[in-house]
Amino acid sequence: MSDGTQLKTPYFDMHVAAGGKMVPFAGYAMPVQYPLGIMKEHIHTREKAGLFDVSHMGQAYIRSTDGSDPAVALEEVMPGALAVLKPGKMRYTLLLNETGGIEDDLMVTRTFEPEGTLYAVVNAGCKAKDYALLEERFAGRLVLELLEDRALLALQGPKAEAVLAGLAPEVKDMCFMEATMVTLEGVVCWVSRSGYTGEDGFEISVPAEEATALAERLLAHEDVEWIGLGARDSLRLEVGLCLSGHDFDGSISPVEAGVTFALGKKRRENGDFAGSERILGELAVGPEKLLVGVLPTGRAPAREGVEIADMDGVIIGKITSGGFGPTFGGPIALGYVPKAFVAEGTDIQLVIRGKLHPAKVASTPFVQQRYKRKILS
Amino acid sequence: MLKFTEDHEWLLIEDGIATVGITEHAQTALGDIVFVELPEVGASFIQGDEAAVVESVKAASEVYAPLAGEIIEVNDILVGEPGTVNSSPMDDGWFFKVQISDASEIDTMMDEADYAEFVAGLE
């Protein structure tokens, strides 16, 4: 299963015992699917509750060396309003380079520590790079404490709340993008109401030595199944969420990637973040190219790398994520097109195995997100 | 006569015509099939040509022509119901029928017992 050079999460043995098909992913041996299969795992998550091992992702505390708010420094390279984050609140943000390109996307949470310590979760494939970029830029100012002794579980789906409330009733009071310490099975965990499937749910950071017991307890609930990386990918694609390193990289700006919601209003006004000149310029006049939803007219899936052509057959862009949406019930994709082609309903063509297939530019999400947002009174 | 290839295809050979599909082992390995691209009736292949494509949720895989010949019929059911390959790989989930041009190509193929041994050796 593993060739010995791959890292294992604390759940490796549980995945193998559950029949998980282990594949190399970002240096780890991870389950791409279980005997249920990607299609049923995907549907199960949308209908009940899926349990995902995301321990390969990077977890870190970020503190300042002089006791000041670490978020103030981070805002130099992250365009979200981080300094205003109150304890227990989290935000999706971006790690930008000096040209305004997206090195990675990440979640940043304000902990309850008095010095305003931040807790960050970054993508597995980018974590070494992210840590190096931060340590280089903020040497002497910020300190990263890598939480390599913690596992990370995501419990996602409409039944996630009921399942987790069975262990800790107070999680019912949490809203989307809130986080707090919760005692689960006698173990203090860091729990957030968040995820990357478009469903309501939680992410649970648990000490590695207690990790398997917690997963076993959650899986004992009849509504919970292990879900692999295959369904994790189709779930996030259906709700139009970008995948770092695929739908954007260090050459793509937040405006091009369509993640302008991650640009704080005040932060735009101040223009005080890396690459802001380019990003604010693109906001003002529109980007040359934009990440859009793509709906193939036929049944053939358009995968990452498939070229996008105009109706004359001239290549105008590329698919960056694509496949079959089990809940949507057909092929769906994301890709970059020039600004003349971004309108919903624009006819385009896809070059699949050398043949042109008709498609249309579509709005995302393809399937509606169902977060438990705070009701504003 | 039922024959098998190392590419996990099966061939039911009757009167110089081979009905071709993928095996139970292949459909399990591929997972949920969401799209099948079939060859054109009348197309001619030599052994090893890409004749069809199967796509699961996760990935696309080629189906190679197991022997030379002309496609005389394709299973149109798979266009609308690609999952038939998962539910009935050896029967309703057949892909295409080939008019065999060189019967000697059958000689190197495995029979059912050999194929079962071949699959067991992969695990």
Cα–Cα distances in angstroms (integers) from residue A227 to residues A48, A209, A283, B42, in the given order:
12, 22, 38, 43
Query: Which pLDDT score is estimated for A38?
Result: 96
Helix axes A38-47, A229-238, angle to 10 degrees: 60
> CB A299 to CB B35 under 8 A?
yes
Residue of B nearest to A34 (CA): B31
For A142-152, what is each residue's pLDDT tens digit? Answer: 999 999 999 99
> Distance from CA of residue A67 to its chain's centroid?
30
CA distance A282 to A256: 8
Q: What is the pLDDT of residue A4?
A: 61
Q: Which residues on chain A are in Cβ contact (under 8 Å) with B31?
A: 33, 37-39, 230
| Contacts with B60 from chain A: Cβ below 8 Å | 301, 303
How far apart are the CA of A35 and the nearest CA of chain B, in angstroms?
Answer: 9
Number of H helices, E strands in chain B: 4, 9
Q: Which residues of A touch B (CB under 8 A)?
A: 32-33, 37-40, 42, 230, 234, 299-301, 303, 323-324, 326, 331, 353
Q: Does B29 touch chain A (CB under 8 A)?
A: no
Which of B1, B3, B31 is CA-nearest to residue B118?
Answer: B3
Question: Is residue A365 reached through a cis peptide bond, with omega within 30 degrees of 0 on the bond before it?
Answer: yes
C-alpha of A131 from chain center? 17
Q: Are A39 and B58 a contacting pair at CB < 8 A?
A: no
Task: Report residue A67 as tokens.
Answer: 């006791």
Instruction: Using a CB–CB cutoff of 8 Å, tell me whether B60 touches chain A.
Output: yes
Ranges in chain A annotated CATH 3.30.70.1400: 58-146
Tell me the two tokens of residue A245.
């390193």
Q: Which residue is closest to B27 within chain A, CA to CA?
A: A37
Residues A324 and B35 sit within 8 Å (Cβ to Cβ): yes
Alpha helices in A95-228 (DSSP H): 127-137, 160-165, 211-219
A331/B35 Cβ within 8 A: yes
**Which sequence spans correspond to the domains of chain B?**
2-101
Q: Which residues of A touch B57 (CB under 8 A)?
A: 38-39, 42, 230, 234, 323-324, 326
Instruction: Let me know if B56 is exposed, middle or buried by CB neighbors in 10 A (0-12, 13-18, 19+).
Output: buried
Chain A closest-CA separation from residue B34 CA (Å): 7
Overall average pLDDT of the A244-272 stretch: 97
Q: How many CB pairs under 8 A join A and B?
A: 45
- Is the separation of the CB atoms in A205 and A189 below 8 Å? yes
What is the C-alpha separation between B24 and B85, in angstroms, rounded? 9
What local confidence, expressed as pLDDT, does residue A5 receive? Answer: 85
The reported pTM is: 0.94
How distant is the Cα of B57 from the closest Cα of chain A, in angstroms?
A: 5
Q: Tell me, yes or no, if B57 comes closer than 8 A to chain A by beta carbon.
A: yes
Within an 8 Å CB–CB cutoff, is residue B53 touching chain A?
Answer: yes
pLDDT grade, residue B123 (50/70/90)? confident
B81 Cβ under 8 Å from any chain A Cβ = no
For domain A58-146, is the CATH number 3.40.630.40?
no
**Cβ-contact A216, A65 below 8 angstroms:** no
What architecture is the B2-101 domain classified under in CATH? Answer: Beta Barrel (2.40)
Q: Does B55 touch chain A (CB under 8 A)?
A: yes
- Give mean pLDDT, residues A10-36: 97
Structure-token pair, residue B90:
């050896």
Measured distance CA(B4)–CA(A126) in Å, rounded: 44
Residue range A160-192, pLDDT digits in tens: 999 999 999 999 999 999 999 999 999 999 999
d(CA A313, CA B66): 34
**pLDDT at res. A3:** 53
Q: What sign results for the dihedral spanned by CA atoms A227, A230, A233, A239?
A: negative
Fold of A288-377: Elongation Factor Tu (Ef-tu); domain 3 (2.40.30)
Chain B residues closer than 8 Å to A42 by CB: 57
- B112 vs A: CB within 8 A: no
pLDDT of residue A2: 46
Contact B56 A42 (CB under 8 A): no
Q: Where in chain A is the domain with CATH 2.40.30.110?
A: 288-377
In degrees, rounded to 5, the angle at the alpha carbon of residue A236 between the alpha carbons of residues A242 and B54 is: 105
Q: Taking the CA of residue A164 as centre, how many other CA atoms within 13 Å lie in the half-sphere pointing to its CB?
A: 29
- Mind listing the pLDDT tens digit for each residue in A277-336? 999 999 999 999 999 999 999 999 999 999 999 999 999 999 999 999 999 999 999 999
A1, pLDDT greater than 50: no
Asked if A39 and B31 come within 8 Å (Cβ–Cβ), the reply is yes
